[in-house]
Amino acid sequence: MRTVTRRRFMAGAGCVALGAGLAGSGRGVAAVPLAPPANPHVGRTVPLRLVAAERPRALPCFAGKTLPMWSFSDQTWLPVVRIELGDRLDVVLDNRLPRAGEHTSVHWHGIRLPNDQDGVPYLVQPPVDPGQSHRYDFVPPDTGTFWFHTHCNTSEQLGRGLMGILIVEGDTIEPYAADETIVLRDWRIDLDAGAFTDFTTERGAHRAGTYGNVRSANGMAEAEVRLPASADCRLRVLNCDPTRIMEVAVDGAEAAVIAVDGVAVPPFALDGWLLGPAMRVDLVVRAPAPGASARLVDRRGAEPLPLVRLVGAGAPRPPAPFDPLPLRAGRIPEPDLSAAETLAFTFASIQDAAAVAGDDPLAQLAIGSLCLAREEFWTINNLSWPGRDHSVIPPPLAVLDRGRSYLFRLKNGSRLHHPIHIHGHTFKVLRSDQQALAPHHADTLILLPGETVEVAFVADNPGRWMFHCHIIEHQESGMMSFLEVA
């Protein structure tokens, strides 16, 4: 039995209309803006040195084996960078990866930053070769839970662990009793040999992706997080896996969603949230009583899979109704739907595209030429990105007028799920033809098999922005393109 009372919604929002299905599964209920954001301020300059290198490590989930991980830091396999809204990040990336030609870059996932800071090699910056350095320098414009990863040979570089977390603070109205980050991902390991297995397989690329065989939360197979007993605690849950889509839920405690991809939503009861690769969800969980525990689980399999044990610690507290505090509203520009231009995009495999093309000889001809390509299997609007990397840049999928509002009709023409990611912008998610969807924001959203989802946004960030599936093997076998905002 999960309920969320209305009082806090009213306090936080002034006027909020709640949908009927508070505990509806999936993506929640109607959301309306919260209080206006705090004024931006010019904060500190935060230096950050990221040294991409091989550092053998034995994470707790590796069952005693040491693996040739790639990471950004000597201190930790997973840097967690916390800054305040208004702070400037001054980053030096050094590439010390151990293989000739293994260039790298850093993409700041979900951050609406200037195009030349977006970290896509060839498209917006030169690739950073081993022995070279590159500087990133930007002020993130939004609060929230983000992460960063490379945009080069991503299946292997991310597969070996090259990633980090970026948290931009400043979205709380009152602090929660705790603020914990939970990073979910798999590893592809031969535990007998103590070696990584193939980061990509042809079979996986043509299907739902190559799943890892060792699952982890914060590098642990049986993670435990201690929370102040009976208090309301924030959990920032990130899916940093290259492949796996999860359905996160909390068993044994009340929980509410308070942000999606870093952007606040009025709190609604969590009853399973589909979290694809690169997606984030912020929760408020009522911590268990002292010594009691609850579980963060993945419900996508036949049985709920425990991911994290949440343990109540400290002095008992008097019981109180679960009434989670909302976050401050995001500052994503509101698209003008009355003036928006509608563009349609279909995500499919080459076979799907061929089936859709039917008897049209011209379409068949175009698809026939695509089939000649070696590595491409997936398409956006019948087009595959050429090759696995970014060294050959095709024309943009669309050229958007800077400042104009767009409505994208995103259709999944395949029988698999695809988490679709846009760089440099954040979508307002409007509606689906398969499920009741709350208006919420997302930089990465799952398209169910056959589903069409409409999203809208203001194309206010000039430059060349990647637009791709975040199942990395789908991305690297064609389901990738870019949009030009000019």
Closest approach of Cu ion to the CB of residue 468, in Å: 8
Structural contact between residues 377 and 477, judged by C-beta atoms closer than 8 angstroms = yes
CB nearer to Cu ion: pick between 212 and 219: 212
Helix, strand, coil % (nearest 5) of the chain? 10, 40, 50
410 contributes a contact to Cu ion by CB under 5 A:
no
Using the rule CB under 5 A, give the single segment among 76-84, 153-161, 366-374, 464-472 that binds Cu ion: 464-472
Sequential DSSP letters for 431-472:
EESSS----EEESEEEEPTT-EEEEEEE--S-EEEEEEESSH
x/- map, 181-210, Cu ion, by CB under 5 A: ------------------------------
CB nearer to Cu ion: pick between 103 and 418: 418
Using the rule CB under 5 A, give the single segment among 163-171, 270-278, 356-364, 462-470 that binds Cu ion: 462-470
Residue 370: which H helix or E strand, with range?
A: helix 361-371
Burial of 22 from C-beta contacts in 10 A (0-12 / 13-18 / 19+)? middle
Selected binder of Cu ion within 52, 474, 476, 485 (CB under 5 A): 474
Output the CA torsion sign for 35, 38, 40, 43. Answer: negative
How many C-alpha atoms does 388 have within 13 Å on its Cβ side? 13
Closest approach of Cu ion to the CB of residue 194, in Å: 31
Phi, psi of 398 (to 5 degrees): -155, 150
Question: CA 121, 127, 133, 138: dihedral to nearest 10 degrees?
Answer: -10
Identify the CA nearest to 275 among candidates 182, 387, 344. Answer: 182
Closest approach of Cu ion to the CB of residue 474, in Å: 3
Identify the CA nearest to 278 among candidates 423, 136, 137. Answer: 423
CB nearer to Cu ion: pick between 219 and 277: 277
Residue 84: which H helix or E strand, with range?
A: strand 80-84
What does the block give as tokens for 320? Answer: 């109180």
Alpha helices in 146-264 (DSSP H): 154-159, 202-206
Closest approach of Cu ion to the CB of residue 213, in Å: 21
**Cα dist. 71→75, 110, 157, 228 in Å?**
10, 21, 9, 32
The whole-angstrom separation of Cα 212 and Cα 198 is 10
Closest approach of Cu ion to the CB of residue 163, in Å: 19
CB nearer to Cu ion: pick between 258 and 469: 469
469 contributes a contact to Cu ion by CB under 5 A:
yes
Q: Which residue is it, tokens 């169910």?
A: 448
Q: Which residues between 411 and 450 bind Cu ion (CB under 5 A)?
A: 418
Using the rule CB under 5 A, give the single segment among 188-196, 251-259, 367-375, 469-477 that binds Cu ion: 469-477
Residue 13: which H helix or E strand, with range?
A: helix 7-13
Closest approach of Cu ion to the CB of residue 245, in Å: 10
Closest approach of Cu ion to the CB of residue 419, in Å: 7
x/- map, 118-147, Cu ion, by CB under 5 A: ------------------------------
Total site size for Cu ion, rule CB under 5 A: 4
Using the rule CB under 5 A, give the single segment among 297-305, 396-404, 441-449, 467-475 that binds Cu ion: 467-475
Closest approach of Cu ion to the CB of residue 373, in Å: 17
CB nearer to Cu ion: pick between 48 and 274: 274
CB nearer to Cu ion: pick between 274 and 471: 471
The whole-angstrom separation of Cα 276 and Cα 239 is 6
278 contributes a contact to Cu ion by CB under 5 A:
no
160 contributes a contact to Cu ion by CB under 5 A:
no
CB count within 10 Å of CB 486 equals: 11
CB nearer to Cu ion: pick between 405 and 444: 444
Using the rule CB under 5 A, give the single segment among 95-103, 125-133, 428-436, 465-473 that binds Cu ion: 465-473
CB nearer to Cu ion: pick between 185 and 474: 474
For helices 350-357 and 361-371, give the axis angle rounded to 10 degrees: 170
Q: Are strands 452-458 and 427-432 parallel, antiparallel or unpaired?
A: antiparallel
Closest approach of Cu ion to the CB of residue 471, in Å: 4
471 contributes a contact to Cu ion by CB under 5 A:
yes
Using the rule CB under 5 A, give the single segment among 270-278, 305-313, 314-322, 461-469 that binds Cu ion: 461-469
Closest approach of Cu ion to the CB of residue 479, in Å: 5
Closest approach of Cu ion to the CB of residue 476, in Å: 10
x/- map, 9-28, Cu ion, by CB under 5 A: --------------------
Structural contact between residues 247 and 275, judged by C-beta atoms closer than 8 angstroms = yes
174, β-bridge pairs: none
Closest approach of Cu ion to the CB of residue 328, in Å: 33
Using the rule CB under 5 A, give the single segment among 42-50, 226-234, 301-309, 463-471 that binds Cu ion: 463-471
CB nearer to Cu ion: pick between 244 and 474: 474
**Contact residues for Cu ion (CB under 5 A)?**
418, 469, 471, 474
